[in-house]
Amino acid sequence: MLTLGIETSCDETGLALYDTEAGLVGEALHSQVALHAAYGGVVPELASRDHIRRIVPLTRQALAASGRQLADIDLIAYTAGPGLAGALLVGAAFAQGLALALGRPAVGIHHLEGHLLSPLLARPAPDFPFIALLVSGGHTQLLRVDGVGRYALLGETADDAAGEAFDKTATLLGLPYPGGPALALEAARGNPRAYDFPRPLLASPGLDFSFSGLKTAVLHAVRGRPMGEQARADVAASFQAAVVDVLCGKCVRALEQEGLSRLVVAGGVGANQSLRSRLVDAARHRGGEVYFPPPRLCTDNGAMVAFAASLRFPRPPEGTGAFSVRPRWDLTSA
């Protein structure tokens, strides 16, 4: 079965083709980073308009890369939520229109389920069950995953997600957009022990997160003080170390609580090299393993949508027609 995956939840337009026999056979991606950089964040209306401009050329590009034709597609999958309402509608409307023209079914996929299952595209792939750390955009969650569609939420953030904390701290330090990668680069030159930032909820029972207090601590550390290059690097490194300590500590606690040894990390923050290194060391120390998606699939992309749909629907469902998007959508209800 050949599935076309369409991702337009925020500021990446991603198209990909996944064949259940041949694997990922074609993909195309456009990032809107340059478009939104002048505003220091994503402008929803601009994001939607850019998806409209890009989606047809990127579909053609993905098809050309795969050597397939539109008529070869068996199933069309699109991100139905969560995300920006206007951006989601672009992908959904295009998917349903194409499905109607081709006489093929179209299905909506949960954005976070795409991230959650994307490490299964790597080799070796993890077996079920496992603990999943989802650190994508505005989401930081720990889940127990017993199979496709079988997700139990163990903990989540009460306020800022880890990615949001990275972006907001980068803004405080005057770093360019997007903040997360820029801060990680700055942290590589700094001393992670220069500032004793808090590790919110790390010593508390449970598996929930909170990062707004850490962000406030950084604000107090830099307010009214000159920030030379080394001082800025030290703040970045100390902040990153605090986030990594919290994420790593909660992941180990989740593994112990559920009696599991496999950890899957997915989402944009999962590309952070410091986090990857610490999680691998922590898992090995207790005889476990950590699985990551390929680096290019950490951020939003069409491949994760096509792949998730192929697992959800081993046979194409029947029918096309009315559709809706869900800007807010609980993964455990997907």
Give the residue from 255, 272, 101 showing the smallest Cα distance to 181.
Answer: 272
pTM, full prediction: 0.94
Does 122 map to a domain? Answer: no
Q: Are residues 148 and 110 in the same domain?
A: no
Whether residues 152 and 288 fall in one domain: yes
Residue 180 lies in a domain: yes
* pLDDT for 309: 98
Q: Are residues 325 and 268 in the same domain?
A: no
pLDDT for 110 equals 97
Same domain, 110 and 240: no
Residues 179, 264: one domain? yes
**Nearest one of 160, 154, 143, 173 to 40, comparing CA atoms:** 173
Please report the pLDDT score of residue 319 as a whole number: 65
Judge whether 93 lies within some domain: yes
Q: Are 161 and 182 in contact (CB under 8 A)?
A: no
Q: How high is the pLDDT of residue 136? A: 81
Q: Is 105 left (phi over 0), alpha (psi -120 to 50) or beta?
A: beta
Quick one: tokens of 217?
């601590």
263 and 328, same domain (yes or no):
no
Whether the ω angle into residue 124 lies within 30 degrees of 0, i.e. cis, is yes
Q: Assess whether 146 and 220 both reside in one domain.
A: yes
Q: Is the bond leading into 129 cis (omega within 30 degrees of zero)?
A: yes
Q: Which residue in 111, 122, 113, 114 sits closest to 294, CA to CA?
A: 122
> What is the domain range of residue 257?
127-292
Residues of the chain with pLDDT under 70: 319-321
The CATH number that applies at residue 84 is 3.30.420.40
Residue 45 burial (10 A CB sphere; 0-12, 13-18, 19+)? exposed
Report residue 30 as tokens.
């456009």
Domains of the chain: total: 2
3-state secondary structure 112-134: HHHHHHHHHHCCCCCCCCEEEEE
Tell whether 320 is covered by a domain: yes
Query: Which of 177, 158, 136, 168 shows the shortest CA–CA distance to 235?
Result: 168
Tokens 């389920």 correspond to what residue? 113
Do 302 and 287 share a structural domain? no
Quick one: which of 266, 62, 272 has its CA closest to 184?
A: 272
Q: What sign for the dihedral angle of Cα 205, 206, 207, 213?
A: negative
Residue 175 DSSP code: P
Q: What is the pLDDT of residue 106?
A: 96
Residue 328: inside a domain, yes or no?
yes
Q: Are 24 and 83 within one domain? A: yes
Question: d(Cα 16, Cα 25) in Å, to the nearest integer?
Answer: 8
Residues 328, 241, single domain; the answer is no
Asked if residue 41 belongs to a domain, the reply is yes
- Same domain flag for 267 and 141: yes
Q: Name the one residue in this structure whose structure tokens are 């050329």.
A: 57
40 and 155 housed in the same domain: no
